[in-house]
Structure formats: structure tokens, C-alpha cells
Amino acid sequence: MKSILKKITLAISITGLFCNISAAQDQPKATGKSEATIGLSYNKKADSKTAVAVVKVKKDGRFVPALNAKVNFYAVHDKEQQLLKSASTDNKGRAVIELQKGLPVDENLASTIVAKIENDKLYENTEEQMHFKEANLTLSLNPADTAHLVTAKLTEMDKDGKEVPVKGAELKFYVQRLFGSMPAGENNTVTTDENGIATFAYSKNIPGDTAGLITVAVKMEDNEQFGSIESKLPAAWGTSLAIIKDPFPRALWGVYAPWPIIITLSTLFGIVWSIYVSIVIKLFKIKKEGGMPNV
């Protein structure tokens, strides 16, 4: 009996200890600051290059975005760090800076960026670094009407400043929509060949705008060497969108009421309210009459 009790006590103590440990991990440290982790990525689009730091903290056993964390971004060159910019995290825990041209590169033509949280009021010091190489993604459309082919070519610069194809990179093909990107097909991923080329045939019945235009988008997402790159190109491949002149006909179930209802209601209640108005006018007459001397 005693041994059973001992075992139970031990089990409870161990469980309690673990609970305390996991709870302690969730708790802010003695300094009152939370321990944060940084995820760093490089994004290249047609018009911009950005470094994105996603900062998270552990709360109740889950990672949640860290708000208002000040992140300093440094470029590393010959082991020296040069501050590029600082940014604070938003409600998604994202701090974004735009990268200018001419970032220092190492002998492999790779740039190194370090993101740091330093002396922040809310979070402990932490840092993360990434290396990435510059790559170019160019798109071209098949001029023939027979097939809606998009050819994407991925290249990088060699040490001599020449463009060389990137082989074996996964590219994804999309159609740009108002609030996001729509995959161009069920399997929209194509790997580049030895020429750095990936080709994808778009469907012929993709709805476009009123002129039948769609925007073709090709992305390389979270590549280990090159980060994320996106390139877009308009194509007159979509089916034209016919604008309905009156999408909400006047109906009982529609947005606008049928005219007969408006006229009937306005007439009936208009009559009643005009009578009310006439009564108020008469009341004023009674009042006016009261102001006159008695005869």
C-alpha cells in the first residue's frame, strides 16, 4: 500500500515538475521580457526586393505573433555588420524592409542578412541570419493561339557577370486574382530543365476582365538558395467578362424595390402624412386665433 502511495506521489511530482517546466517556458523571463524567435526570408518581385522577418513568441504552449517588436536588419560583409534599416512587427508579427541595390556579396555571390532584436522593451535579444543569391525569373508567352503556353526562365549571374540557367528549381504557375493568386491547374508545379526553363499550358477558359486579359504569375517559393521570386505578365487569354448592366433587377427579393411598391407606399403614406401636416397647420391657425383679442 505504501509503495503504491509512493508511486502515485512520485508520478504527481514528476507531472507537476513537467507542467511547471512547460509553464515556465511560456512565462516571460525574470526580466519581464518574452523569448522570441525570428524567421527570415527574402522576396523578390518585379518592382521590389524585400527582407521579411516573422517574429513569434510562445504563449500557452503555442506560437503567436509578437507585436511591436523592433527588428534591426544588417547586411554582413567580411564579418562586419552594417545596419540597413529597422522595422517594427505588425499584428501578424511581420517586420518588412525594402532592400536596395548593391548589397555586399561574398565569393559565391551570396548576400547575408541578419535580423536582430536588440534591447527591446518587450522581447529578449535574439537574431537570425539568411544567405541568398540573386536570380532572375523572366516570362514569355506563346504567340500562337493554339496553346496558351507560358515559358519561365530562371537564371543567375556567374562571377563574370553572365547569366547562367538554374536547373532543378520548382516554379509554380498561377493566375493573379483580385485578392490573391489562383493555381493555374491542379498540378501547377514545373521544375526547370538544364536551360533553366519551365513551361506550363494554361487553360483556355479562364475568366478574364472585360477585355479578356488575365495576369499570369509564376513563383519560386522559399527556395533555399534564392528565396522567393515572383514574376507577372499580362496575357489576352481570358474569356471576356460580360458586365450585366443591371445586376439587381427591381424585384421583391432584389436590392431595389419594384416601382409599383414604391409608388403605392409613397402615395398611401404620403396622403396620410400630408393630412398630418395640414392638421399641424390648422393647429397653428388655432394658436394664431388665440392671439387675437376677444370680440
Partner 1 sequence: MATEKFDLKQEIETLREDCLRPTRTFGRSSQIWVGFLLAVMAWGIFCYIRQLRYGLGVTAMRDYVSWGMYISTFVFFIGISHSGTLVSAILRITKQEWRRPITRSAELLTFVSLCFGGIQPIIDLGHPERILNLVMYGRVQSPLMWDVISIMTYFTGSTVFLFLPMIPDMALCRDRLTVVDTRYKKFKKWLYTKLAIGWKGTKTQWHLLEKTMGTMTIVIIPVAVSVHTVVSYIFAMTLRPGWNSTVFGIYFVAGALYSGSAGVILGMAAFRKIYHFEKYLTPRHFDLIGKVVLALTLVYAYLNMNEYWIPAYKMATAEGHLLSDLFYGNYSKIFWTCQFGTVLIPIVIMSFPKGRKITPLVITCIVIVIGAWVKRYLIVVPTMLHPFLPIQDVTKEWSTYFPNYVEFSVEAASLAGMLLIITMFSKLFPMMAVWEVEEGIEIDYDKEVAVELGKQRIADHAKAAAEAVKVSNGQLKQPA
Can you tell me the distance from the alpha carbon of 292 to that of 116, in angstroms, rounded to the nearest whole number?
Answer: 88
Give the range of 90-98, 111-119, 204-212, 285-293 binding partner 1 by CB under 8 A: 285-293
End-to-end CA distance of the chain: 115
Position 257 contacts partner 1 (CB under 8 A): yes
Give the torsion sign (CA, 25, 29, 33, 37). Answer: negative
- Nearest residue (CB) to partner 1, 108 versus 294: 294
Position 262 contacts partner 1 (CB under 8 A): yes
Give the range of 6-14, 143-151, 191-199, 284-292 binding partner 1 by CB under 8 A: 284-292
Position 285 contacts partner 1 (CB under 8 A): yes
- Nearest residue (CB) to partner 1, 85 versus 250: 250
Position 261 contacts partner 1 (CB under 8 A): yes
Angle at CA 185, nearest 5°, toward 232 and 147? 75
**Shortest Cβ 152–partner 1 spacing (Å):** 47
Q: How many residues bind partner 1 (CB under 8 A)?
A: 30
Q: Which class for 215: exposed (0-12), middle (13-18), buried (19 or more C-beta within 10 A)?
A: middle
Residue 71 neighbours by CB under 8 Å, 6+ apart: 38, 53, 55, 86, 87, 88, 89, 95, 115, 116, 117
- Nearest residue (CB) to partner 1, 63 versus 276: 276
Residue with cell 398630418: 276
Q: Which residues bind partner 1 (CB under 8 A)?
A: 251-252, 254-255, 257-258, 261-262, 265, 268-269, 272-273, 275-276, 278-280, 282-283, 285-292, 294-295
